[in-house]
């Protein structure tokens, strides 16, 4: 059992929710971040084991709100030991934005949405969290995507923003190591969450599952287990690593 102060962004549901549950089950105190899901975040906090868990809110596209949120989480938790950068936006799976078939205005809007949250927002969270982590060292784990490597032809802004997050994580793994801070990344493929249930049940479900030779998609708990280990004291030598969690649905050299 441990007793660390952990901030997980985008953690009221899906992968983030499973990550919060994994840390709480291990004895850590967790700050559950959300943008507009206060009820879900409070429900999660109320049923977590242990005590000292808190809920914080911020729109990650607002730099001032990000700083206030991270500082508030550190204040309520009595410091900060771990940051899990999980919050991100994919875009509407039913409304792709290819180069052809999208207006210039729509194209710019999708890029702003993806980059401001998935890359700039995540980078701002890291900067703010690092001011607290440098006091005693710590762990940063970024949640990226298989799409950063294989490409996202229907959602190119998403793929590009996650590729940028990968590069940011590796750059900071070198920059922050002298301060005892590790930076690692997980890159999941398709994950069964409340946001993907409709697609898995629909006509595309079989094709999505068939992308993996296991003929299924990941469970949030599987992603959370990897995140939890990367944030452990035993994982310091993994700093700079990008861990593929896609059930062999995409293999890179």
Q: Kindly write down the DSSP assignment for every residue of 128-175, as one continuous string.
A: HHHHHHTTT-EEEEEE--THHHH--TT-HHHHHHHHHHHHHHHHHHHH
Burial tier of 20 (Cβ tally within 10 Å: 0-12, 13-18, 19+): buried
List of residues 6+ apart from 65 with CB closer than 8 A: 58, 59
Q: Which two tokens stand for residue 103?
A: 């207006």
Residue 242 phi, psi (nearest 5): -115, 115
Quick check: is 250 catalytic?
Answer: no
**Residue whose C-alpha is closest to residue 29's, from 12, 8, 60, 10:** 8
Q: Which of 90, 104, 158, 179 is catalytic?
A: 158
Which strand (E) or helix (H) includes residue 61? none
What is the β-pairing status of strands 181-188 and 54-57? unpaired
CB 187 within 8 A of CB 244: yes
Q: Which two tokens stand for residue 8?
A: 């997980």
Which strand (E) or helix (H) includes residue 59? none
Paired with 181 in beta bridges are: 138
Q: Point out the residues that are catalytic.
A: 158
């Amino acid at each position: 059992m441990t007793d660390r102060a952990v901030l997980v962004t985008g953690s009221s549901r899906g992968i983030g929710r499973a990550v919060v549950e994994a840390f709480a089950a291990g004895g850590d105190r967790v700050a559950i971040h959300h943008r507009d899901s206060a009820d879900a975040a409070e429900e999660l906090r109320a049923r977590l084991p242990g005590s000292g868990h808190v809920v914080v809110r911020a729109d990650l596209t607002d730099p001032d709100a990000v700083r206030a949120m991270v500082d508030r989480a550190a204040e309520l938790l009595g410091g900060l030991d771990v940051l899990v950068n999980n919050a991100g936006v994919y875009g509407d799976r039913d409304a792709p934005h290819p180069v052809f078939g999208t207006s210039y205005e729509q194209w710019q809007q999708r890029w702003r949405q993806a980059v401001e949250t998935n890359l700039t927002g995540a980078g701002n969270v890291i900067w703010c969290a690092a001011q607290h982590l440098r006091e005693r060292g710590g762990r940063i784990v970024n949640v990226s995507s298989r799409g950063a490597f294989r490409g996202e032809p229907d959602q190119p802004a998403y793929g590009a923003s996650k590729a940028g997050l990968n590069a940011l994580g590796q750059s900071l793994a070198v920059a922050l190591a002298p301060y005892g801070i590790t930076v690692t990344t997980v890159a999941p493929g398709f994950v069964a969450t409340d946001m993907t249930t409709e697609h898995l049940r629909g006509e595309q479900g079989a094709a999505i599952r068939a992308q993996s030779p296991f003929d299924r998609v990941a469970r949030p708990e599987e992603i959370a287990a990897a995140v939890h280990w990367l944030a452990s004291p035993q994982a310091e030598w993994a700093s700079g690593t990008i861990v593929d969690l896609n059930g062999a649905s995409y293999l890179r050299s």
